[in-house]
């Protein structure tokens, strides 16, 4: 049993396992991404809250800033790597899923209100997430291309989960924590490294946790 202020959730391991087994029999593509989201849907989850570590493309962003995602640019998705490619399961959603409203406006506004209430509005922004495949960090030329396309931050995750959730009719909120500043010049001595990502994430863990806790408390049933 999980009790979070006025919200209470009760999860049965046996029920979750049976649901996961049922879904696994029905899909063959990206099961590690699709199964958890569809299990949530079958358990009655109505809103998915996602956070990720991302590189800062927008030069106004600083290490430790948070960027509420309002839209995304998915290079894998545009290159025939969309997580929904394959037979569609009508039990969860229609074949063609609009993503113009992928990130719930009310949840975004609620997070901004929570950030202001807790005194963190200075580090909370809103922007566009550039999704790349990884596992390599982006080259300077790739970063400049993403900036020209309108991306504010860049990362290797989140979009597949968001797409699966929206396919199933689940509301989505996502926020990026800027854990490194993306390199834009080939002559720069700076380079992205995983240690910096972990160190920056550690400095914001408690703040992000408090923001999410209050956001969850404000979500309407």
143 is in which domain, residue-wise? 46-218
For the chain, what is the domain count? 1
- pLDDT tens sequence across 124-164: 999 999 999 989 999 999 999 999 999 999 999 999 999 99
Name the range with the highest mean pLDDT among 19-33, 97-111, 191-205.
Answer: 97-111
Q: The domain that contains 112 carries what CATH number? A: 3.40.50.1580
- pLDDT tens sequence across 11-41: 545 555 554 555 455 544 466 788 899 999 9
Does residue 25 lie in a domain region? no
Share of the chain above pLDDT 70, in %: 86
Q: How far apart are CA 68 and CA 85, in angstroms?
A: 27
User: Which runs of E-coded beta strand occur in the chain?
Assistant: 2-4, 7-9, 47-56, 66-74, 124-131, 153-155, 171-181
Rg of the chain over Cα atoms, rounded to whole angstroms, equals 18
Whether residue 188 contacts residue 180, with contact meaning beta carbons closer than 8 Å, is answered with no
Q: Name the pLDDT band for 220 (thresholds 50, 70, 90).
A: confident
Does residue 2 lie in a domain region? no
In the structure encoding, which two tokens stand for residue 16, read together? Answer: 């979750």
pTM of the model: 0.87
Strands 47-56 and 7-9: unpaired
Does residue 5 lie in a domain region? no
């Amino acid at each position: 049993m999980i009790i979070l202020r006025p919200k209470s959730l009760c999860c049965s391991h046996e029920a979750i396992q049976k649901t996961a087994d049922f879904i696994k029999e029905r899909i063959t593509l990206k099961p590690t991404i699709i199964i958890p989201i569809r299990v949530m849907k079958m358990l009655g989850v109505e809103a998915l809250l996602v956070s990720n570590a991302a590189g800062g493309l927008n030069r106004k962003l600083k290490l430790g800033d948070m960027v509420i995602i309002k839209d995304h640019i998915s290079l894998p998705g545009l290159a025939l790597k969309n997580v929904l490619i394959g037979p569609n399961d009508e039990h969860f959603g229609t074949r063609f899923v609009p993503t113009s409203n992928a990130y719930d406006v009310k949840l975004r506004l609620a997070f901004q209100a929570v950030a202001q209430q807790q005194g963190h509005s200075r580090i909370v922004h809103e922007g566009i997430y550039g999704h790349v495949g990884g596992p390599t960090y982006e080259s300077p030329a790739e970063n400049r291309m993403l900036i020209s396309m309108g991306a504010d931050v860049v990362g290797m995750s989140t979009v597949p989960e968001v797409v699966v959730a929206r396919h199933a009719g689940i509301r989505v909120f996502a926020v990026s924590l800027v854990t490194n500043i993306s390199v834009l010049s080939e002559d720069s001595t700076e380079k992205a490294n995983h240690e910096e990502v972990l160190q920056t994430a550690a400095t914001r863990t408690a703040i992000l946790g408090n923001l999410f806790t209050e956001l969850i408390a404000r979500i309407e049933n």
